[in-house]
Amino acid sequence: MQQIETIQEFYKTLSEKVDIRTDSDGIGHFNVFPRRYCSPTASFHRRDFYKISLIAGGTGVIHFANKDFIIDRPGLFFSNPQVAHSWEPTSSNQEGWFCLFTEEFIQSWDHSFSVKDYPMFRIGENPLIFLEEEAVEDISYIFHKMIQEINSDYIYKYSKLRNYLQLLVHEALKHHPEIGLRNKQVDAAHRITYRFLELLENQFPIENTDMPLKLRTVQDFAENLSVHENHLNNVVKEVTAKNPSQHIAYRIAEEAKALLKNTDWTISEIAYSLRFEYPSHFTSFFKKNTGLPPKEYRNHLL
């Protein structure tokens, strides 16, 4: 079963002991820190909270779902609780800030604002925005104000912090207007497509051979989404230019490569965990999608 890191578990990984700012009035959770509080590396997990990180200095690699983002200049990273990710530093200098929050923190105050409305938080969108110097200064100022506010005694400070949070999102859109242009009203086809991609991504990574994929075919996804299989094929192809089978095959092939690289599971165990009826079917699938049989691919990694 895919492990999900809770806020409480995350706090235990911080390099300095801090208070968990859990609000008892049902307004959700919010906190903000300098990046030096983070542990040197972060494990590849889903979390039960959102996180926005300003990487103002230092280098590293963000492993996000089945992609790797090389961080060699300042950037703003938006993590999604539905997608597993981790951080691998490649320099000792790590400057910047991050804030973490739950969806309840936003919705308890303003139901008209949802992080899901914005492209950087959506499944399948780019979660990383590289920043010019002017943008780094603007966004650094917002984080400074967040830290100042959360340490204040102002009775309405969480309302101000929500405003700063929305301001962060809008600053990202302002400095990258091409992203803002994509932030349009989502029609039914887009909603079904995003939900399909969300269901697909939520099954990974596979961490236990006893917990194989539940959704493996287009029919599986269509039934889960309560739509006809033909309709799912049509809308996903319309929105992404690829049909659901292509998305499924690509994601399973990427997971297979990760399992061959990072586990000592046998080829048969990997095949069954990915819901192939026979290992030979998995071998044929893997070769078709990568150019190599799984055993040969693993040997090349040694």
Q: What are the tens digits of pLDDT across the range 38-97?
A: 766 667 777 888 999 999 999 999 988 778 899 999 999 998 888 888 888 898 888 999
107-114 own/partner pairs: CB under 8 Å, 24+ apart = 107/28, 108/26, 108/27, 108/28, 109/27, 109/158, 109/159, 109/162, 110/162, 113/166
Residue 188 has pLDDT above 80, yes or no: no
- Is residue 268 pLDDT above 70, yes or no? yes
Instruction: Name the CA dihedral angle for 182, 186, 188, 194, rounded to a multiple of 10 degrees.
Output: 70
Would the pLDDT of 217 be above 60?
yes
149, amino acid identity: E
Collapsing DSSP to helix, strand or coil, 219 comes out as helix
Predicted confidence band of residue 223 (pLDDT cuts 50, 70, 90): very high
Q: What is the pLDDT of residue 168?
A: 86
Task: Check residue 123 and give its pLDDT.
Answer: 72
Residue 274, phi then psi, degrees to nearest 5: -95, 10
List the one residue out of 85, 97, 87 whose CA is nearest residue 140: 97
- With tokens 């706090």, the residue in question is 11
pLDDT at 7: 82
- DSSP structure class, residue 22: B
- Residue-level pLDDT at 122: 72
The pLDDT, as a whole number, for residue 172 is 81
- Is the pLDDT at 130 greater than 70? The verdict is yes
Type of residue at 190: H
Q: How many CB atoms lie within 10 A of CB 115?
A: 21
Kindly tell me if the per-residue pLDDT of 142 is higher than 50: yes
Check whether 22 has a pLDDT greater than 70. no
Whether pLDDT at 260 is above 90:
yes
DSSP class of residue 170? H
